């Protein structure tokens, strides 16, 4: 737990959760609360968007606007929400199965669209809410409560995928390192465009391979000498995962026009345009001729 003065942070909701005691989600929640507060935002300026899963329950535990959608669908919902009102900061919080499995297609295309969102993936390399099946990030051969003889698929590498798609902010952090995690969330919040943070998170109930100790022993901070604008180097670094060590920090960064910046004819949040039925009269006049 991070030591902040809870009474001062308006985002802190102090409600009961349905997470397992000791779950990495608690630390992620605290880090988000802390980062939002530290960035000077108010709950009225923040929309927490999620899909379905244990991680996706997080919007219910924060004092802010919330949009808890369907499994895999947080990203398109966020796209619409952003199109409607980009005065509201969108933080998307979801699990590895939600994001890379059910929502994989949305992830691909909204990175291309360059939504201006912070996307925090609680990546525990297993399905939690459905009780222990393999996820897209579960290692090949790893035994689960469904894959009794081990995973038959190669694991997806989220950060390498994001870099290959041209995602403008790609970082990895660890729920067991809240100082680093908070730092990453704040950096992502200050990035204009799609900011992905893949957060390594132990699942104490269903993943007995990728434990706190497992991550702790392998994770290392990306050296300051790494050039975050070098996409090829970033990709190379991103490929490193597992016993060879796991780089933590910002892997890749590139500023480019966001989803709404590319729509030049819109100069304010869509929700602020006044509209009335007679707005189409000029079109009807054309049809009369």
Partner 1 sequence: MKQTIVIAGAAGEGINTVELFIERILKQNGYELFSYKNYMSRVRGGYNFSTIVVSESPVFATVDKADIFIALNREAHDNAEAQMVSNGLLITEERMPDLKEVSRSKNAFAMAAVGAVLKIFGIHEDELHKIKSKKWADDVNLENYKSAKYGYDQFALKHLPPRGGEGRILINGNQAVAFGALSAGLSFYCAYPMAPSTGIMTTLATYEKEQKIIVEQAEDEIAAVMAAVGASSNGVRAMTGTSGGGFALMVETLGFAAVSETPVVICNVQRPGPATGLPTRTEQADLAFTVTASQGEFSRIVLAPLTVEDAFYDTHRAFNLADEFQVPVIILTDQLLADTTQTVERFDTASLKNERHLLEAVVEDYKRYDFTRVSGGRKYPGLDPQTLIMTDSHVHDEYGHVTEAIEPTIQLKQKFLNRTGAIKSALKKPELYGSTDYETLFITWGSTYGALREAVDQLNDDGKSVAMLAFSDVFPIHPDVMKPYLKEGVKVINVEGNAMNQFGMILRMETGTLFDHAINKYDGRPFTSQYIIEKFEVIQHD
- Shortest Cβ 272–partner 1 spacing (Å): 9
Among 60, 143, 208, 231, binds partner 1 (CB under 8 A): 60
- Shortest Cβ 81–partner 1 spacing (Å): 4
Among 9, 20, 38, 85, binds partner 1 (CB under 8 A): 85
Select from 91-99, 128-136, 250-258, 277-285 the region that touches partner 1 (CB under 8 A): 277-285
Restricting to residues 101-130, name those near partner 1 by CB under 8 A: 105-106, 108-110
Does position 165 interact with partner 1 (CB under 8 A)? The reply is: no
Among 44, 140, 213, 245, binds partner 1 (CB under 8 A): 44
The vertex-136 CA angle with 130 and 140, nearest 5°, equals 110
DSSP per-residue letters across the chain: -----GGG-TTB------SPTT-HHHHHHHHHHHHHHHTT--GGGEEEEE-SSSGGGGGGGBSSEEEE--TT-HHHHHHHHHHH-TTSEEEEEEEHIIIIIITHHHHHHHHHHT---EEEEEE-SS-TTTTS---TTSPTT---SS-TT---SPPP-HHHHHHHHT-SEEEEEETT-HHHHHHHHHHHHTSSS-EEEEEE---TTT-SSS-HHHHHHHEEEPPTT--TT-HHHHHHHHT--STT-EEEEEEEE-----TTTT-TT--S-GGG----GGGGHHHHHHHH-
- Shortest Cβ 74–partner 1 spacing (Å): 9
Among 27, 54, 69, 207, binds partner 1 (CB under 8 A): 69
Does position 245 interact with partner 1 (CB under 8 A)? The reply is: no
- Shortest Cβ 264–partner 1 spacing (Å): 9
Select from 54-62, 130-138, 184-192, 240-248 the region that touches partner 1 (CB under 8 A): 54-62
Contact predicate 232/252, CB 8 Å: no
Does position 14 interact with partner 1 (CB under 8 A)? The reply is: no
Select from 26-34, 60-68, 167-175, 243-251 the region that touches partner 1 (CB under 8 A): 60-68
Select from 57-65, 174-182, 203-211, 242-250 the region that touches partner 1 (CB under 8 A): 57-65
For residue 277 the two structure tokens come to: 């039925």
Select from 164-172, 196-204, 224-232, 281-289 the region that touches partner 1 (CB under 8 A): 281-289
- Beta-strand relationship, 219-221 and 246-253: parallel
Does position 211 interact with partner 1 (CB under 8 A)? The reply is: no
Task: Give the interface with partner 1 as residue ranges (CB under 8 A).
Answer: 18, 43-44, 47, 49, 52, 57, 59-60, 63-70, 73, 75-85, 87-88, 105-106, 108-110, 263, 265-266, 270-271, 273, 275-284, 287-289
């Amino acid at each position: 737990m991070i030591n902040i003065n809870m009474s001062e942070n308006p985002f802190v909701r102090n409600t009961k959760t349905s997470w397992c005691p000791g779950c990495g989600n608690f630390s992620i929640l605290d880090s988000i609360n802390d980062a939002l507060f530290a960035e000077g935002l108010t709950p009225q300026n923040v929309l927490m968007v999620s899909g379905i899963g244990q991680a996706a329950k997080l919007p219910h535990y924060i004092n802010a606007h919330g949009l808890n959608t369907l499994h895999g669908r947080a990203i398109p919902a966020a796209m619409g929400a952003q199109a409607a009102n980009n005065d509201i900061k969108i933080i998307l919080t979801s699990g590895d199965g939600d994001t890379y499995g059910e929502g994989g297609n949305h992830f691909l295309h909204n990175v291309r669209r360059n939504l201006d969102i912070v996307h925090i993936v609680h990546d525990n390399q297993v399905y939690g809410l459905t009780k222990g099946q393999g996820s897209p990030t579960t290692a090949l051969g790893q035994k689960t409560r469904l894959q009794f003889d081990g995973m038959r698929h190669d694991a997806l590498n989220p950060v390498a995928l994001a870099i290959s798609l041209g995602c403008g902010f790609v970082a990895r952090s660890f729920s067991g390192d809240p100082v680093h995690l908070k730092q990453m969330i704040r950096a992502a919040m200050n990035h204009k465009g799609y900011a992905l943070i893949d957060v390594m998170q132990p699942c104490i109930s269903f993943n007995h391979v990728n434990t706190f100790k497992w991550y702790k022993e392998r994770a290392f901070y990306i050296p300051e000498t790494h050039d975050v604008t070098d996409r090829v180097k970033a990709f190379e670094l991103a490929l490193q995962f597992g016993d060879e060590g796991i780089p933590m920090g910002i892997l890749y960064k590139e500023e480019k026009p966001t989803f709404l910046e590319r729509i030049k004819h819109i100069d304010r949040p869509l929700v602020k345009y006044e509209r009335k039925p007679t707005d189409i009269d000029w079109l009807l006049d054309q049809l009369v001729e």
